[in-house]
Amino acid sequence: MSARGLLFVHAHPDDETVGTGATVAHYAARPDVRVTVVTCTLGEEGEVRVPHLAGLAANEADQLGGYRYWEYRRATAALGVEDTHFLGGVARYRDSGMMGLPSNGHPRAFWGADVDEAAADLVHVIRDRAPEVLVTYDPDGFYGHPDHIQAHRVAMRAVDLAADPAWRSDLGAAHEIRKVYWTTMPRGLIEAQFEAFADATDNPFANVASVEDLPFGVPDADVDACIVGDAEATARKREAMAAYATQIAPGDWLDVLGDKLGDEAVAAEHYRLVKGERGPGDGEHGWESDLFA
């Protein structure tokens, strides 16, 4: 029996780890599942979180993308992923930076990419790997980053095009993805994090008056699935996070989240189902515990 395919479409190196690392590690450890991670940029415009690497930044030597490439290789290896792909090839699309910055207009900025052109490469991946399930962001890119929004647009366009036998047969035989999920966070979890970090010096919500002001999160009832990594998957996610030295410095809130709220805060990742039939769930909210359900 051939392996079942699970495809993740992310914007930058480290997104696969921070947002879905426990899920990636959980399924990568299953012999009956083939995990594919597609990443759209090298994260060239990212903030460098450690002083001794500050010279890599876009406004300095502009070498951060190459450095993050190798962080990505170490991180995905830690998660157990053997099948990775950069959309259009390595460095075809550049990190656009945060919304409204001049970097949005760079000639290679992913934000300005032709959606059908970018989707064509993803269609080839979908038709070649034939995944049952695809995971990406919601229309707001989870928190409004241009590249996350564009990754959503490209992924959803590719889902439609890959299933159309009349579209680009040169990219392989048509394939319909059975289920599509968008990453999310339940409001209840955000409220717990908001409270846990209230008096912390590394509080990520320091400039936020209330949970309602955050650009992400949905009511718990709107969540469809929660994948909770076991001890091994959680350890693999932590190892992958540690690989991103430029993005997650020791003591950052992501680094200490588990210490404040327990391992489940690191291991539990949540999703909304937007294509396909919801399977049986469990727990207080009846969330699916298997993306293939």
- Give residue-wise pLDDT tens across range 149-177: 999 999 999 999 999 999 999 999 999 99
What pLDDT does 212 receive?
Answer: 74
Q: Is 217 left (phi over 0), alpha (psi -120 to 50) or beta?
A: left
Note the pLDDT of residue 189: 82
The CA distance from 210 to 218, in Å, is: 14
pLDDT of 201 above 70: no
* Alpha-carbon dihedral sign for residues 87, 156, 243, 30: negative
Specify the pLDDT at position 260.
67
Place of tokens 């409204």: 100
Residues 6+ apart with CB under 8 A from 83: 34, 35, 36, 37, 129
Residues 135 and 237: their CA atoms lie apart, in Å, by: 17
Is residue 232's pLDDT more than 90? yes
Tell me how crowded residue 3 is: count the other CB atoms within 10 A of its CB. 12
The answer on pLDDT for 19 being more than 70 is yes
Give residues with Cβ within 8 angstroms of 2, minimum separation 6.
none
- Please give the average per-residue pLDDT across 25-47, as a whole number: 98
Supply the pLDDT for residue 254: 72
Q: What is the CATH number of domain 4-275?
A: 3.40.50.10320
Query: Per-domain residue ranges for the chain?
Result: 4-275
Tokens of 209: 């008056």
The whole-model pTM stands at 0.95
Helix (H) or strand (E) holding 119: helix 115-129
pLDDT band at 194 (very low <50, low <70, confident <90, very high): confident
Q: CA 158, CA 57: separation in Å to the nearest integer?
A: 32
Instruction: Express each pLDDT in 109-155 by its tens digit.
Output: 999 999 999 999 999 999 999 999 999 999 999 999 999 999 999 99
Q: At how many degrees (to 10) do helices 253-261 and 231-243 cross? A: 160
State yes or no: pLDDT of 253 exceeds 90: no
Instruction: Place 17 in a pLDDT band, splitting at 50, 70 and 90.
Output: very high
- d(C-alpha 291, C-alpha 282), whole Å: 13
Per-residue CA distances from 74 to 6, 68, 100, 186 (Å): 20, 10, 32, 30
pLDDT band at 244 (very low <50, low <70, confident <90, very high): very high
Residue 282, pLDDT score: 86
Single-letter amino acid code for the residue at 227: I
| Residues pairing with 39 in the sheet | 10, 86
Give the pLDDT confidence score for residue 216 in this predicted structure. Answer: 78
Tens digits of residue pLDDT in 52-98 = 999 999 999 999 999 999 999 999 999 999 999 999 999 999 999 99
For the four alpha carbons of 172, 176, 178 and 180, in that order, the dihedral sign comes to: positive
Q: How confident is the model at residue 10 (pLDDT cuts 50, 70, 90)?
A: very high
10 Å Cβ neighbour count for 280?
9
> Is residue 5 very low, low, confident or very high in pLDDT (cuts 50, 70, 90)?
very high
**Mean pLDDT computed over every residue of the chain:** 92
Residue-wise DSSP of 240-287: HHHH-TTTS-TTSHHHHHHHHH-HHHHHEEEEEEEES-----BTTTTB
For 36-72, letters b (16+ CB in 10 Å) and e give bbbbbbbbbbbebbeeebeebbbeeeeebbebbbebb
pLDDT band of 217, cuts 50, 70, 90: confident
Query: How far are the Cα atoms of 46, 114, 118, 176, 276 from residue 43, in angstroms, in the given order?
Result: 6, 19, 17, 30, 31
Q: Residue 247 has what pLDDT? A: 92
